[in-house]
Amino acid sequence: MNGFVRRFAVCIILLAGVFTIGAAPGDPPIRIGSTLALTGPLASTALVHKLTGEIYVEGLNRRGGLLGRQVEWIVKDDQSKPELARTLYEQLITVDKVDLLLGPYATGAILSAMGVAQRYNKLLVHHTFGIPSLAKYDAQFPTWSLGPDPATTFPNTVLDALASTPKPPKTIAIVTSKFPSVHFMSLGAREIARKRGLQEILFLEWEFGNRDFGAIAARIKDANPDFLWVGAIGLEGNQLLDALKKIDYTPRYHFYMYPAPGPMAQAPEAKNALAGTIFEQDPPFTDNPSAAEFSKIFNERATKAGLPYSRVETQAAASYTAWQVLEAAVTATKSLDDKVLAEWLRTHRVDTIQGKLRFDGPSNYGDDLMRVKQVQNGRWVTVWPKAFAAPGATLATP
């Protein structure tokens, strides 16, 4: 009997060993650190990135994690302050001793994080950096596929879209916030419009945080352009549209640089408003199975979290792509070494929900994958280039 018990116990121990060798439960999780603007003026968009990150990490851990280890995401609140982001990234590296870094939300904070990553030779994959020329660190990898010179390429894409309409605009008004990542795009649009022969009849700049758009709206109405380019970020686009509505003016063609997706899509006065996108939750983007699966989960979670726009669009897609890029590099190299990962990313393309990304251009930027979307029936749909247009969607004209 004793012999049977001993043999049984040995079998149990061996079996337990067989099952545990693969999972290595003693291995600590891989810790990925980042900050997000969970409070402060950028919080509404940063919450989209938080939700996306949570969904991705859950899915990743269900698939077995990275290198057979579970993944833990440490996310700290940088309060929309780049200077705080700098401190927190320093803390993530030196105190929390995270294995990998992921970028924060928005250009200013990313620039701060980039400086810290460079100081410690850490890889930094980031999702929402708007000024490629400022990304000097060679181990930073952008996943918002703006291309290396968006101030030239993107206004051209927008004007190409408008040129394809039966009544292309002949005059343009460019009104813009002085928020850095928006302002340089508006200046680019100004230059491109001039080169393409559009007559600029109004150019206005306002300080970020402007409250009263009444006078700006009155000047736009007075100029009455064929095409209104609004260099707006977040709430500003809606504020301007509100002011235009109050004086009974509806712009013919109107474009907004980085609008708050929910409020703009849902505002009746934003009908036919244009904006840039890298992903919208329609085919052909959702033909990619991981994009379709992510969209489904995101819709459920966003609705539950009370987000006003529960569809996946640029912000969520850029964020999801950052995680995909990080996973692809770690999986391919079977390494957590920042140098090894950076080297691999520089020489390989990564398949993402935006399309295939490469990082071998200036400032590690690859192809310009920016497309044009439009508010139609209370939601954003991609309308240009035609190959990426949502099924049945065409650029609506005034």
Beta bridge partners of 384: 372
277-306 positions binding another protein, by CB under 8 A? 305-306
Q: How far is the CB of 246 from another protein (least distance, A)?
A: 4
CB 168 within 8 A of CB 199: no
314-373 positions binding another protein, by CB under 8 A? none
Residue closer to another protein, measured from CB, 51 or 161? 51
Neighbours of 96 (CB within 10 A): 13
Candidates 65-73, 159-167, 257-265, 311-319: pick the segment binding another protein (CB under 8 A). Answer: 257-265
Question: How far is C-alpha 395 from the geometric centre of its chain's CA atoms?
Answer: 23
DSSP 24-36: -TTSPPEEEEEEE
* Of 35, 140, 145, 238, the one binding another protein by CB under 8 A: 238
Residue closer to another protein, measured from CB, 222 or 351? 222
Pick the closest to residue 375 from 249, 246, 259 (CA basis).
259
Candidates 63-71, 122-130, 256-264, 290-298: pick the segment binding another protein (CB under 8 A). Answer: 256-264
Q: Give me the helices (H) in the chain, please.
A: 2-23, 43-62, 82-94, 107-119, 150-163, 180-195, 214-223, 236-246, 261-266, 289-304, 314-333, 338-347
Count, residues near another protein per rule CB under 8 A? 43
Interface pattern 68-107 for another protein (x via CB under 8 A):
------------x---------------------------
Tally helices (H) and strands (E) across the chain.
12, 14
**DSSP SS3 for 66:** strand
Q: How far is the CB of 280 from another protein (least distance, A)?
A: 19
CB 210 within 8 A of CB 236: yes
Examine residue 222 and tell whether it contacts another protein (CB under 8 A): yes
Interface pattern 118-137 for another protein (x via CB under 8 A):
--------------------
Examine residue 267 and tell whether it contacts another protein (CB under 8 A): yes
Residue closer to another protein, measured from CB, 25 or 308? 308
Q: Which residues contact 345 (CB under 8 A, 6 or more apart)?
A: 123, 125, 141, 325, 329, 359, 364
* Of 74, 235, 297, 336, the one binding another protein by CB under 8 A: 235
Residue closer to another protein, measured from CB, 221 or 348? 221
Q: How far is the CB of 48 from another protein (least distance, A)?
A: 9
* Of 54, 72, 200, 242, the one binding another protein by CB under 8 A: 242
CA dist., res. 71 & res. 157, Å (int): 39
Judging by beta carbons within 10 Å of its beta carbon (0-12, 13-18, 19+), is residue 289 exposed, middle or buried?
exposed
Distances from the Cα of 145 to the Cα of 248, 318, 322, 352, 357, angstroms: 37, 8, 11, 11, 7
Q: Is 208 left (phi over 0), alpha (psi -120 to 50) or beta?
A: beta
Candidates 15-23, 57-65, 130-138, 242-250: pick the segment binding another protein (CB under 8 A). Answer: 242-250
* Of 11, 21, 24, 39, the one binding another protein by CB under 8 A: 39
Examine residue 263 and tell whether it contacts another protein (CB under 8 A): yes
Interface pattern 179-208 for another protein (x via CB under 8 A):
-------------------------xxxx-
* Of 162, 232, 273, 307, the one binding another protein by CB under 8 A: 307
